[in-house]
Structure 1
């Protein structure tokens, strides 16, 4: 019933009357489920603990609030009109369901520049190229050149057990020469591919090409380490073309909210979830006190680390899965600058600078090019680096971002204005960036959450193979709506008095 890849309107046929579905969480999964269920005639109530919708699909703007579990609530004080995406920032071109909802809900999109050969690699250390910012294109082209040169030499000496004919081998050699930029002698020499140290121009200005970095220097400086050589264009999810919502990714969440506003209760923190013989009962608290609400079924989209601390009567298999699935530790900091020096001085328009220090990545905005001011993401880190950074105070995180960032961009000192940081594994009602599985947890715990536990279904990116992507939330929501609606309509066939209309 659920079509696979193509973007399409959801059509499950017959509609129902008189069924009330309680949805926990007004993130993308919860709102998508409610949006589709409403089309089918269901009455939905969405309970959201935050005072905003969107969950982790969140763009930080002036006045944005965030509460981490060991820190006071922080308020962003960016200039009006400036923002950065604290959660998802990219849409792969093959995530057609994400693009479908942008189209159906009228959310305009624009190109996201994920791959930028003009950004930098920066390796702290003791190697010959350490503590220097080096253009990505220099490293990429030098490595391609040296690698294809070595492979060409190996083929010339018959050292490859490939079983190629002489003609086929010649074709491979020609490909290697083209791929690596080898000269007629099958040697790698620097070319314009890796950029100029003096740009070409009018008159007697042919431009000057620098010498390639030595292979040994690249290796000894750690520039072949995993911190760096994760070439984005080789990764399926990160291949161009990528997109983003115009004005911030939260525009997608706001478009859903606009359709569902009467059904959303903000500031409603769930404290107990109970399966009952005829449905589900939820206890939640808000500013007015504690409340109880019952429905025919419930769809729970809460992140598992949050759900793990809520009273429930789930089955043993489900409870174990909730407790044992790990979530990514990750965080970002947005830095506002009075001048877009990365564009004006460094000619960097979008893309990512990679480091081997605790910053991990610096993201440059792929919007508002040539504007006066801008916000770049001063770090986007994971695992142990994110854990260390997350333990810091807000002021200490800013200090870290500036100290390490100025090694790449000395303009930080003169141009910096304001910051705002989010550590997702410490953020209340999230407690992690996204679900993480290894082969054992995927095999042991994942299946338990794919099935309903009594009258309660589970949905979210953590219940797909699209972890960390908005597409995971959309795909999971549709899958659960399909299963839930199938169950209700099947009951109608068995018990016609259930009140279903075609």
Structure 2
């Protein structure tokens, strides 16, 4: 029926709300993905929208650093990126899971092309500083992963053989489990783990009689003693639901998504407009903001606030105590990244690393290799991506000190750093005035109290953003929250148009 045009196609995540918002004015605070998506969907319905954004750019935390990008932090002056044209790194979100269907939907609807993001790469390294036998050496991820898979399979196979498992297995079932373990762990006929091609070669196979040379497996005790089973390392990305392949990224940088949204709502945007007060009124809402021309007041029927909670905490408001507590007490993660531009892509040329992540137990935490422009002349690594105490420590440094740290620690893994390095640009999200954190963190109790308070309208103010979803830290959280709040706002105003209650009713 679809082929014969007898049945209209239902696109993924179609948003077909009925009714018109003509004559109603919605004020939206923040021009990140949640704010601009809200404006985009509301203007389709006929609403007048005004989007106030304190920054002089859109996108919020969806920010790609390229030549000319600027930022000033609470403890550091303004810096300007001096990368070569065409090079960039994503300071905020860098990955799109294939099952984040709404993110994929908006990329399709907005015409943002995607490319594969290589999140899982067995050629990257583990690097542990310490006193273990494998410490202060870079070890390929494939060696650790396959050796541990082999050793664990061998131990479990022995336990099955000796009937040491709590679960009761018939002899036939046990044989099937052992066959699985032999395949999973690469065990020999005696159910012992020995090195195989899975963990790579000391000498690669080639033509003629060159069969290749296998290395010996890392000893289990050495892996343990060197800390390579600690949480810093043994986070196998492909096991995590959000990080399972296939993953995607926007061609040319994640900010292309924000720029595509900006084009759809550009007539509704006021950039450089910092909100200083939000006041619920008997009917409608009054917003006070300041820009280069002074202080202004703006009134509307309803407000959608997408400001990060640490930022909202510095805004005057007349919210209820439950909402005020949520704003004040929901923590945001401390996190930071640094982009390092190099003269050549030595990680590809010298070490055959194309995308993926190297893990460390030092202040770098992670090194990300670019998943675009393979075999290009130059490239930008994310020289560290750290969190919590490590991010707090690094965030206190000057830009120059962060660069020095990234180069000193990074060259322990890649000795090419000093010769090939050119430029850097670092971002500590908890130090950026209009962000003050990476993303919201909730425990189970906070989900029942603070989180729940933010899901309800505060009289004429609605809240949206990743902090109002279970998808914190993901662009999908912004999109999902925008869809939810637009449906709520439109439902409320549509009902009012039919039943004629006051605008201020809750």
- Within the candidate set 418, 424, 431, 1:413 is matched to 418
Displacement, 1:296? 0.2
SS at match of 2:103: helix
The residue aligned with 1:429 is 434
Q: Distance in 2 between matches of 1:372 and 1:364?
A: 14
Question: Given the alignment of the two structures, is residue 174 of structure 1 paired with residue 154 of structure 2, yes or no?
Answer: no
TM-score by length of 2: 0.97
1:260-299 equivalences in 2 (<5 Å) = 260-299=265-304
The residue aligned with 2:75 is 70
Tell me the alpha carbon deviations over residues 224-278 of structure 1, each in whole angstroms, 9 at most, x when there is no partner: 0000000000000000000000000000000000011110000000011100111
- Alignment check: 8 A CA contact 1:16 1:41 kept: yes
Tell me the alpha carbon deviations over residues 178-198 of structure 1, each in whole angstroms, 9 at most, x when there is no partner: 000000000000000000000
Displacement, 1:26? 0.1
SS at match of 2:116: strand
Q: List gaps (5 residues or longer) in structure 2.
A: 1-10
Displacement, 1:9? 2.3
Tell me the alpha carbon deviations over residues 303-344 of structure 1, each in whole angstroms, 9 at most, x when there is no partner: 000000111111111000000000010000000000000000
1:183-194 equivalences in 2 (<5 Å) = 183-194=188-199
Tell me the alpha carbon deviations over residues 269-300 of structure 1, each in whole angstroms, 9 at most, x when there is no partner: 00111001111110000011111100000000
Tell me the alpha carbon deviations over residues 329-369 of structure 1, each in whole angstroms, 9 at most, x when there is no partner: 00000000000000000000000000000000000000000
1:282-431 equivalences in 2 (<5 Å) = 282-431=287-436
The residue aligned with 2:477 is 472
TM-score by length of 1: 0.97
- Within the candidate set 215, 218, 234, 1:213 is matched to 218
The residue aligned with 1:442 is 447
Q: Distance in 1 between matches of 2:440 and 2:186?
A: 41
Displacement, 1:497? 12
Displacement, 1:70? 1.2
SS at match of 1:150: helix
Q: Distance in 2 between matches of 1:72 and 1:290?
A: 25
SS at match of 1:226: coil
- Within the candidate set 19, 31, 35, 1:30 is matched to 35
Tell me the alpha carbon deviations over residues 161-205 of structure 1, each in whole angstroms, 9 at most, x when there is no partner: 211111111111100000000000000000000000000000111
Displacement, 1:16? 2.3
Tell me the alpha carbon deviations over residues 443-482 of structure 1, each in whole angstroms, 9 at most, x when there is no partner: 2210000000010000000110000000000000110011
1:120-131 equivalences in 2 (<5 Å) = 120-131=125-136
Out of 210-219 and 7-16, give the one that drifted further.
7-16
- Alignment check: 8 A CA contact 1:7 1:99 kept: no
- Within the candidate set 219, 222, 225, 2:227 is matched to 222
Question: Given the alignment of the two structures, is residue 491 of structure 1 paired with residue 486 of structure 2, yes or no?
Answer: no
- Alignment check: 8 A CA contact 1:275 1:313 kept: yes
SS at match of 1:327: coil
SS at match of 1:73: strand
Number of matched residues? 493
SS at match of 2:454: helix
SS at match of 1:466: coil
Q: Distance in 1 between matches of 2:237 and 2:61?
A: 23
The residue aligned with 1:3 is none
Q: Distance in 2 between matches of 1:455 and 1:63?
A: 39
Displacement, 1:496? 9.6
Displacement, 1:495? 2.2
Question: Given the alignment of the two structures, is residue 61 of structure 1 paired with residue 66 of structure 2, yes or no?
Answer: yes
The Cα RMSD (Å) is: 1.0
- Alignment check: 8 A CA contact 2:283 2:502 kept: no
- Alignment check: 8 A CA contact 1:92 1:237 kept: yes
Q: Distance in 2 between matches of 1:497 and 1:419?
A: 55
Q: Distance in 2 between matches of 1:223 and 1:354?
A: 10
Question: Given the alignment of the two structures, is residue 134 of structure 1 paired with residue 147 of structure 2, yes or no?
Answer: no
SS at match of 2:277: strand
Question: Given the alignment of the two structures, is residue 9 of structure 1 paired with residue 14 of structure 2, yes or no?
Answer: yes
Q: Distance in 1 between matches of 2:166 and 2:312?
A: 55
Displacement, 1:7? 3.2
Q: Distance in 2 between matches of 1:111 and 1:277?
A: 50
Q: Distance in 2 between matches of 1:7 and 1:378?
A: 37
- Alignment check: 8 A CA contact 1:227 1:360 kept: yes
Q: Distance in 1 between matches of 2:440 and 2:239?
A: 23
Tell me the alpha carbon deviations over residues 377-434 of structure 1, each in whole angstroms, 9 at most, x when there is no partner: 0000000000000000000000000000000000001000000000000011000000
Q: Distance in 1 between matches of 2:81 and 2:47?
A: 38
SS at match of 1:67: strand
